[in-house]
Copies of this chain bind each other. A is one copy, B any other.
């Protein structure tokens, strides 16, 4: 069993704060500053250019990728880090479309994160070959998987409600219709067990600044199934995805397997921060995380529903159908969330009316949940959010 008290001690959480927003930006692991400081001083500072070999910077994207592979059920050697989630969506989608040249539809759903849809739009406009981005309601995805569809672009866990798609089922339906799948794991990686290999997923992408605690703007990852890895053509064909980057050939030759999904020079400092955060994952398993996460979310839902009748559950009530977050609808949700944050209970707000709370067993325990419920009940039942200072909207992420 995971010692969650020990993992909690590995994070810095500001005094008095109950941080239920690790699904937006994970908190700071205590080991990060030291690790990044050493990479700056001992590697960059002392090794300079030789750090690419001596300090293993060149292998960092696959070395860290392998540590994430373990959490998402990917085969070792088939995940690589780099760029941002949006860039990796573009690569996966462009590769998939080329593998289905006679089909024109990208199927997504209205619960997908907007940036994924924007990247698809941009790709379609660039290609200029009449592709269509078909966005249906989440519950209608399965019925819309037809042989007109080239690829599905689905975020497994909805960023607003936490509703979870059935990856294995949708992937099987897709394959039965000759459709490829791109899975966005932004709210899955580190949140719940993912079994990419078992589900037969074709491509997957994700970010590392949420449940994986890599820091603001931490690099993304991409997975390509072994059966496609030597055939996929990375639309973004940069030198570090070349078979021999340091031969400086004038023509592109894709590297073996997942290596070809690398693009430019890897972000060494950012990857060092992520690598420090990954140490914490050696202390647990995704099965332990999931059990603890369900216990926390069930406890939270029960406590809020018992005390806050004005809040309407927006997440699935069935724990099997949701990720590691719980969302409630409330018309003045923005103001209510500001009032909670002012009292140290940090969740976030998603338009138009979603109050979102993330539960990360690595650093949130039952006591935190109970304290959060008490604060929320006080704020909501006494309408403490109904003040002008909570209603002025700043830009939030």
* Choice from B27, B37, B121, B250 contacting A33 with Cβ under 8 Å: B37
In the assembled complex, the Cα of A238 lies from the Cα of B50 at a distance in Å of: 34
In the assembled complex, the Cα of A220 lies from the Cα of B114 at a distance in Å of: 24
A40 with B49: in contact, given A87-B236, A234-B122 (CB under 8 Å)?
Answer: no
Render A115-126 as a binary contact track against B, CB cut-off 8 A, 1 for contact: 101110111011
Render A267-298 as a binary contact track against B, CB cut-off 8 A, 1 for contact: 11111010000000000000000000000000
Chain B residue contacts of A52, Cβ below 8 A = 216, 395-397
Chain B residue contacts of A218, Cβ below 8 A = 267
* Choice from B36, B127, B128, B263 contacting A87 with Cβ under 8 Å: B263
Chain B residue contacts of A84, Cβ below 8 A = 83, 238, 263-265
Chain B residue contacts of A270, Cβ below 8 A = 217, 267, 269-270
In the assembled complex, the Cα of A219 lies from the Cα of B219 at a distance in Å of: 12
A242 with B118: in contact, given A216-B52, A263-B84 (CB under 8 Å)?
Answer: yes
The segment out of A170-178, A193-201, A313-321, A343-351 that lies at the interface is: A343-351
A83 with B264: in contact, given A48-B27, A49-B346, A215-B40 (CB under 8 Å)?
Answer: yes
* Choice from B58, B235, B394, B395 contacting A126 with Cβ under 8 Å: B235
Render A98-120 as a binary contact track against B, CB cut-off 8 A, 1 for contact: 10000000000010011101110
A248 to chain B, nearest CB (A): 5
Chain B residue contacts of A396, Cβ below 8 A = 49, 52-53, 246
Chain B residue contacts of A203, Cβ below 8 A = none
A86 with B239: in contact, given A48-B19, A126-B94, A216-B51 (CB under 8 Å)?
Answer: yes
A209 at the interface (CB under 8 A from B): yes
A27 to chain B, nearest CB (A): 6
Render A367-397 as a binary contact track against B, CB cut-off 8 A, 1 for contact: 0000000000000000000000000001111
A57 at the interface (CB under 8 A from B): yes
Q: Which residue of B lies closest to A242 (CB)?
A: B118
**Contact between B28 and A348 (Cβ–Cβ < 8 Å)?**
no
User: Which of under 10, 10 to 19, 20 to 34, or 35 or more describes the interface residues of A?
Assistant: 35 or more
**Contact between A267 and B267 (Cβ–Cβ < 8 Å)?**
yes
A321 to chain B, nearest CB (A): 22
**Contact between B263 and A269 (Cβ–Cβ < 8 Å)?**
no
**Contact between A48 and B86 (Cβ–Cβ < 8 Å)?**
no
A238 with B119: in contact, given A248-B351, A264-B84 (CB under 8 Å)?
Answer: yes
* Choice from B33, B126, B346 contacting A41 with Cβ under 8 Å: B33
Contacts A87-B264, A248-B351 supplied; 19 other A-B pairs, CB < 8 Å: A14-B45, A32-B40, A33-B45, A36-B36, A53-B394, A85-B264, A87-B87, A114-B248, A114-B250, A115-B238, A118-B239, A118-B241, A122-B236, A127-B128, A207-B265, A215-B268, A217-B266, A217-B271, A269-B270
Write the residues of chain A forming the contact surface with B, with a CB cutoff of 8 angstroms.
Answer: 12, 14, 17, 19, 21, 24-25, 27-28, 32-33, 36-37, 40-41, 44-46, 48-53, 57-58, 83-87, 90, 94, 98, 110, 113-115, 117-119, 121-123, 125-129, 135, 207, 209, 215-220, 233-242, 246-252, 263-271, 273, 341, 346, 348, 350-351, 394-397
